[in-house]
Structure 1
Amino acid sequence: MPQTTAPPIVVAAPLVDAHIHPDKSSWGGPWLSRDRADTLRDFIDNDVRTQAAYTRSVEDRALALFRTAAGQGTRAMRAHVDVGPACGVANVHGVRAAADRLRGVLDVEIVAFPQQGLLTAPGTFDLLDAALGEGADVVGGIDPEGLEGDVDGHLDAVFGLAAKHGADVDIHLHDGGDAGLDQTRRIAARATAEGMGPRVTVSHAFAVAAATGDALTSIADDVAAAGIWLVTCALGGDPVLPVRFLRERGVNVAVGSDGVRDAWTPFGSGSMLDRAHLLSYRTDAMTDADLELAYDACSTAGAKLLRITTDPSGDRIEYPGECLAQVVIDRPTPIRVLRDGDEIARDGVLVS
C-alpha cells in the first residue's frame, strides 16, 4: 500500500483583536443596508439610529461575533463599547454578559467608549464613571479637538477617571494633520506625567499614519519615548500605520478589526487572520518577514497590550500550510485552536 504523507501544519500564536466594536455589529442577523456618511458626526448619527433599530439584543449579536472570532483563533480582544445618552451603560452589560458565556475561551477587555462625546454629550462623564464600576475595564475617549473642541478638558476627564478607577486609557483619534499630531503628543505627555506609559493607547492615529519624512520620525520618537501604544485597523481608504517603521523606532503597535458588519462598514469577518492579510496588502508587504510581522502585530503584540501571557506549547493555532507567510496570504481555516492545552475549536468552529 502506498504511504500517504500528512499535509504540513503551521503552528502560530493565538490572535488578539486590539480594537473591535461588538455592540455595533449586526453579526448573525440579516443583511444591514447603510446610509452614506461623509463626516464623523454623520457616522455617529447613523450608528445611533442603527443600534436603536436592532431587534436582537447586544448580548446576542456580540456573542455571535465572539464565537466566530474565537473559532478562527482569536484568544482575546479589546472591545470598545458605547456609553452615552443613547444607550446609557446597557451596551456594557450586554457585551459583558456575552463575554461571560465564553469565559475560558475568549478574554474580553471592555473600553467604556463615549462615542457621542464625553464633554459635549450631557451626562456622559457620569455614565462612564458608572460603567467602570459595572463591567468596563478601560476609559475611552474620542477626538479631543475635532469632536469635543477642548483638548485639555477632554484629557482631564479621561485621565481623571483612569486615576479614580485604576484603569487604562484608549482614545480614538481620527483627527488628521498637525492637529492630530499635536493631540498625539499631548496624550503622550499626559501619559508620561501620570506615570501610565504603556497603559495608554491612541487608536487609529490617522495623523501619525499619514505623516511622512521628518514629521513621521519626530512623532514616532515622541511616542516611543512615552511608551504609549498605537493601534491601527487597516480600514478602507484611511491611512494605515507603517508598522515596520514604527517598530524599528521603538513604538508599540497592535492591530484590531474596528467595526464588523455595522453601520460604519459592510466589511469585517471576525477573523484577525483576515486582518493580518489586509494589513499586509495595505502596507505593501512583499517578503516573508513582512508577512510574519503583520501576523505578529495581530497576535503577540495585542497580547502584550492586553498583558496576556500565553504558553506556546498549550496556546496555539494550527493551520494547513508550508509557512506562516503563506498562511497570511492564503488565510486558511484553522485546523485546531488550543487554549491551555485544550482544543477549543476545530475547522473554525468552537467545539462546545
Structure 2
Amino acid sequence: MTVLPNPHLLATPGLVDSHIHPDKTTWGDPWMSRRPAHSLTELIENDRATQFDLPSSVEDRSYALMQHALANGTLAMRAHVDVSTELGLRNVEGVRAAAERLAPHLSVQIVAFPQFGLLTDPGTLDLMAAALTAGADLVGGIDPLGIEGDLHGHLDAIFGLADQSGRDLDIHLHDGGEDGLAEIREIAARTVAGGRQGRVTIGHAFALCDETLPSLGETLDCVAEAGIWIATCALGPDPVPNIDRFEQHGVRLVAGSDGVRDTWSPFGSGSMVDRAHLLAYRTGAMTDAELERAFRIASTAGGEMLGLPDLAEWAGATAPTRLEFAAENLAQLVVDRPAPTRVLRHGADVTG
C-alpha cells in the first residue's frame, strides 16, 4: 500500500461480499498446509476430508472472518454454507450464530449449499428444506451436469424447493463450454417461467467468460432478460468476465471472495477492497472509470442484489452508512488497497 504524504479523507459506500464460504475458512486457526488438487472433484474431496478435522468450531472460525471483514468495510455478505448428509445442519447453525453476534452491523444472507451433491447424496434435499428454518435464507445449487449428471433433475429439485419455501436461488456453476451455456439458458428459462426475474444468482458462470463460444451472445441476452445476477470472484487461474460485454448485454455483475484461507486455497484476505483490486487487475482496468466500476461491483451492486437500500444507494459523504479512507479518489483506493479509517452502519461507528 502506498502511504500518501497528504492523504485526503474519502467517503464511499459500504462494501458487499456477494459470494463467500465462511464455514470453510481456517481464519484464526493455525496454518494448514493444503493438499494438491487438479480438478473440481479433487478440491471437493479434499474439503470433505478436512472439514471435520479443523480445530475450531464453525461458529468461531466464521465469526473471526466476519469480524475481520467488517473491520475492512464489508457490511453485508451472501454466505454459501454446506448442507449434506454428513454435515447435517451444523454449518448453517454455526454461521447463523456467528452472524447474530455481529448484527445489525453486518448483514448476512445464508445459502443452503449442496456442495457434495444433491441427487448424488440422497437426503440432502430434505436437509436443505430444514436448513431454511434453521437459519438459511436461500436455496443453493451446484453444477447440474458436472457434479450431478442430471440437468433437469437437479434444477427440478432446487427450483421446486424455492417455490415451496418462497425463497430465492443462488447456484454455483463451474461447468464451461457450450454445455455450461446450455445450463445457464435453462436456468434463465426457468427463472422467467416462474416469474423469478431478479431473484436468481449464478456464481462463477465460467462459460460466460469464454469469448470463443458461438452461443455466448445469445446466452448473455437470456441472462439479462431473466434478470439473473452473476457473481464473479476473479480467483487465480479462473476465467473472468468481459465486463464491457456484460454491460452491453445488460448483465448485472457482483463480486465476492469465494473461499478465504480454506481447504481449497491458502489465499484470501477478507477485504473487498482487495477483491475490487483483483477484479480490476485481472480484467485489464486502466482508466479511472474502469477502476471505479470495479469498486461499484464490489459495493453498491452487491447491495442491490441483496436488497439492502443503505448499501445499494449511495447517499453521499454524510450518509449514516459509509466508509472513510485515506485516499484521493476511488481509482487510487482500488489500486492502493488501504483499510478504511472508519466504518459506519446506520450511524453507528463499528470501526475495528
Please, what TM-score do these two structures have when normalized by structure 1?
0.95
Could you tell me how far apart the structure 2 residues matched to 1:269 and 1:86 are? Answer: 29
Residue 330 of structure 1 pairs with residue 333 of structure 2: no
Deviation at 1:344, TM superposition (A): 0.9
Q: Residue 125 of structure 2 aligns with which residue?
A: 125
Could you tell me how far apart the structure 2 residues matched to 1:213 and 1:9 are? Answer: 45
Could you tell me how far apart the structure 2 residues matched to 1:275 and 1:54 are? Answer: 26
Could you tell me how far apart the structure 1 residues matched to 2:6 and 2:239 are? Answer: 42
SS of corresponding position for 1:11 = strand
Q: Residue 101 of structure 1 aligns with which residue?
A: 101
Amino acid at match of 2:231: V
Residue 314 of structure 1 pairs with residue 320 of structure 2: yes
Deviation at 1:6, TM superposition (A): 6.8
Deviation at 1:127, TM superposition (A): 0.7
Contact 1:244 1:293 in 2 (8 A): no
Q: Residue 50 of structure 2 aligns with which residue?
A: 50
Could you tell me how far apart the structure 2 residues matched to 1:263 and 1:340 are? Answer: 35
Q: Residue 74 of structure 1 aligns with which residue?
A: 74
Residue 90 of structure 1 pairs with residue 87 of structure 2: no
Could you tell me how far apart the structure 2 residues matched to 1:113 and 1:183 are? Answer: 18
Instruction: Provide Cα deviations, 1:214-268, integer angstroms capped at 9, x if missing partner.
Output: 6432221111111111110001101012223212321111010000000111110
Q: Residue 297 of structure 2 aligns with which residue?
A: 297
Could you tell me how far apart the structure 2 residues matched to 1:287 and 1:178 are? Answer: 33
SS of corresponding position for 1:171 = strand
Contact 2:325 2:341 in 1 (8 A): yes
Amino acid at match of 2:273: L
Q: Sequence identity, in percent?
A: 56
Deviation at 1:87, TM superposition (A): 0.6
Match runs of 1:158-307 below 5 Å? 158-212=158-212, 215-307=215-307
Could you tell me how far apart the structure 2 residues matched to 1:127 and 1:43 are? Answer: 23
Contact 1:231 1:255 in 2 (8 A): yes
Please, what TM-score do these two structures have when normalized by structure 2?
0.95
Q: Residue 134 of structure 1 aligns with which residue?
A: 134
Contact 2:253 2:301 in 1 (8 A): yes
Could you tell me how far apart the structure 1 residues matched to 2:115 and 2:17 are? Answer: 19
Q: Residue 15 of structure 1 aligns with which residue?
A: 15
Contact 2:177 2:213 in 1 (8 A): no
Are residues 154 and 267 of structure 1, via their aligned partners in 2, closer, same or farther at CA, if it must alter by over 3 Å? same
Could you tell me how far apart the structure 2 residues matched to 1:181 and 1:276 are? Answer: 26
Instruction: Provide Cα deviations, 1:275-312, integer angstroms capped at 9, x if missing partner.
Output: 00000010000000000000000000000110001163
Amino acid at match of 2:243: V
SS of corresponding position for 1:261 = coil
User: Is 93-102 or 242-251 further displaced after alignment?
Assistant: 242-251
Instruction: Provide Cα deviations, 1:118-171, integer angstroms capped at 9, x if missing partner.
Output: 100121111111101111000000000111011111011001110111110011
Could you tell me how far apart the structure 2 residues matched to 1:215 and 1:162 are? Answer: 28
Could you tell me how far apart the structure 1 residues matched to 2:253 and 2:293 are? Answer: 11
Amino acid at match of 2:79: A
Amino acid at match of 2:31: W
SS of corresponding position for 1:197 = coil
Contact 1:59 1:95 in 2 (8 A): yes
Deviation at 1:62, TM superposition (A): 0.1
Could you tell me how far apart the structure 2 residues matched to 1:50 and 1:101 are? Answer: 26
Deviation at 1:9, TM superposition (A): 1.2
Unaligned runs of 5+ in 2: none
Amino acid at match of 1:11: A
Could you tell me how far apart the structure 1 residues matched to 2:309 and 2:8 are? Answer: 27
Contact 1:174 1:206 in 2 (8 A): yes
Deviation at 1:32, TM superposition (A): 1.2
Contact 1:148 1:154 in 2 (8 A): yes
Deviation at 1:106, TM superposition (A): 0.3
Contact 2:178 2:213 in 1 (8 A): no
Could you tell me how far apart the structure 2 residues matched to 1:294 and 1:67 are? Answer: 23
Could you tell me how far apart the structure 1 residues matched to 2:92 and 2:208 are? Answer: 30
Deviation at 1:7, TM superposition (A): 3.2
SS of corresponding position for 1:121 = coil
Contact 1:276 1:294 in 2 (8 A): yes
* Number of residues of Structure 1 aligned to a counterpart in Structure 2: 342
Cα root mean square deviation, aligned:
1.2
Contact 1:93 1:135 in 2 (8 A): yes
Could you tell me how far apart the structure 2 residues matched to 1:323 and 1:214 are? Answer: 40
Instruction: Provide Cα deviations, 1:45-76, integer angstroms capped at 9, x if missing partner.
Output: 10011111012000000000000000000010
Could you tell me how far apart the structure 1 residues matched to 2:97 and 2:243 are? Answer: 34
Deviation at 1:341, TM superposition (A): 1.6
